[in-house]
Structure 1
Amino acid sequence: MNIAETTTSNRLHYRSVPALHDLPRPVYARVEDIAQPKATQPHSHPWVQLSYASRGVLQIRTAEGWFLAPPQWAILVPPSVEHAVFNSPGTEMRSLYIATDALSEVGDTCQVLAVSGLLREMIQHFSQLPAEYDEDGAEGRLVSVMLDLVCEAPREAFSLPWPVEPRLRDICSAILESPERPLRMEEWSARAGVSVRTLERQFLQQTGLNLRRWRLRARLLRALPLLERGDSVTDVALDCGYESTSSFIAAFRQFFGVTPGRFTPQGPKKQGRSGS
């Protein structure tokens, strides 16, 4: 699969990627305030990238899947991994480019990290420092602690693995485009030309999730940008294919550990389509 296959909109505007040949210091901060939804073309870096947004929702898409981070989370991208970055409107990005010898053992696939309050403040502070900060002084010590916090940050399952088999990818694309559509295994297996049992086995082998759990995760991850932009919980539940708000809230809490109201800036005051 190429990354373009996971892009569902041709109306996106693209933003540039800085043409850096070397980092001026072991860690370099890139600050961007992006008013409109935008994306980068697929690209890679010879260093580690920590994509963090203090406001807005980030999505990073690779050949292996879709990784998503609302505020309080960040996405760690290993060196040389081709990826495209997508942002929701009003995103405030504070990305870190990190030399490979400064942050070891990052693995070979993207990871979603929980960002503590301390790490968030350190990233914000570091982003205001000059690019050629004093490595031997207080600024260098701040960087060392910040990288320690990145290494120790809990990893979260805010990702959607993408299968290799084209027929399975077609199923995933259809689910993302119409999450409200009932999941009928017999229909999907007939379209794929295999038995239901074979379909389920292949999907589990290639994604680590069965198709029902993959669809559940896809629905919940789809909800985050909608909640972050201020849509009501009721509207988001309907848009993501849930028949009731209560079932959506229960599934959301079970997966994320918090209620969807945490991600709705307007909170319960904003009215949904049904008036609740």
Structure 2
Amino acid sequence: MSINGQTAVHERPIPPLDALPRPLYARSESLARAERTRMHHHPWVQLSYAIRGVLHVHTPGESFVAPPQRAVWIPAQMEHEVFSFANTEMRSLYLDATLFGAPHDHCRVIEITPLTHELIKQFCTLETEYDEQGEAGRLSLVLVDQLRRAREVSMSLPLPQDPRALQLCRQLQDTPDDARTLAEWGCQLGASEKTLRRILLRETGLSFRIWRQRLRLLGSIEELGRGVRVTQVALNFGYQSTSAYIAAFREHFGVTPGDFFSG
């Protein structure tokens, strides 16, 4: 599967790790090209965070997008795949699941405050087997405490399970500027417009119009992060005008596209 239509995505091997060397473990990676880790799971929590670049995380039921001020929280045993674009600076955290309770058992996007950002950067410079009783151990406790209190933000896109509706959604993920109506999609998929509308609402909680708009807005973030002009981004994601895109963006995220990365 591509990211917003990109096909040249390199398969990145999953790190061989049988057990965490410490309850909190970090990995730093500089990714020069677009990368993908295939669907997998592990017995610890993962925080996928990019200090530069935009991440996409897919689970069997949802897609998540995280620009630098956000990170994707992936609970233990959750099947997931991670996509990153070229020139991404990754800072991944792996956490013993016993550090967190039931409120942290679902995949979500969380806010990374300036303090948490600096804590993650500093923690990633430590030795793998750091002294848990010393300064490094105290730093890890502060970081874990900040992650426990992190605010969840709306950066996810639910996916249906019905094969016809899922095919529609997957195709739109690859070609978000596709302007076909739900009736036209129904003709291709062998289902009536009414049936597709009912399935999407039941399985995603969103109407087709709202689902497609959220897809386009979330997908557009990566291009904004690369410095693509707002006018071009609007066209790439199926908006008839720049003003329509900006208005939809502000309504969903509370800021304009130009201000999004300045927070």
The TM-score by the shorter chain falls in which range?
A: over 0.9
Query: Residue in 1 aligned with 2:147?
Result: 150
Match 1:198 to one of 195, 200, 206 = 195
Query: Residue in 2 aligned with 1:77?
Result: 74
Distance (whole Å) between structure 2 residues aligned to residue 7 and residue 228 of structure 1: 14
CA contact (8 A) 2:34 2:86 kept: yes
Distance (whole Å) between structure 2 residues aligned to residue 8 and residue 233 of structure 1: 19
Query: Residue in 2 aligned with 1:24?
Result: 21
Q: CA RMSD, aligned part only? A: 2.0
Q: Which runs of 5+ in 2 are unaligned?
A: none
Match 1:89 to one of 73, 80, 86 = 86
Matched residue SS, 2:38: coil
Q: Which runs of 5+ in 1 are unaligned?
A: 266-276
1:196-239 superposed Cα distances (whole Å, 9 cap, x missing partner)? 33322211111121111100000001101111111111110100
The amino acid across from 1:148 in the alignment is D
The residue correspondences of 1:106-255 to structure 2 (distance < 5 A) are 107-255=104-252
1:124-160 superposed Cα distances (whole Å, 9 cap, x missing partner)? 0100111112212222222122112112111112111
Matched residue SS, 2:102: coil
The residue correspondences of 1:31-70 to structure 2 (distance < 5 A) are 31-70=28-67
TM-score normalised over the length of structure 2: 0.92
CA contact (8 A) 2:11 2:38 kept: yes
Worse-superposed segment, 53-62 or 129-138: 129-138
The Cα of 1:5 is off from its aligned counterpart by: 9.0
Give the number of aligned pairs: 262
1:56-104 superposed Cα distances (whole Å, 9 cap, x missing partner)? 0011111112111011000000111121111011111111000011122
Distance (whole Å) between structure 1 residues aligned to residue 133 and residue 107 of structure 2: 31
Worse-superposed segment, 61-70 or 195-204: 195-204
The Cα of 1:9 is off from its aligned counterpart by: 4.8
CA contact (8 A) 1:58 1:68 kept: yes
Percent identity for Structure 1 against Structure 2: 45
The amino acid across from 1:24 in the alignment is P
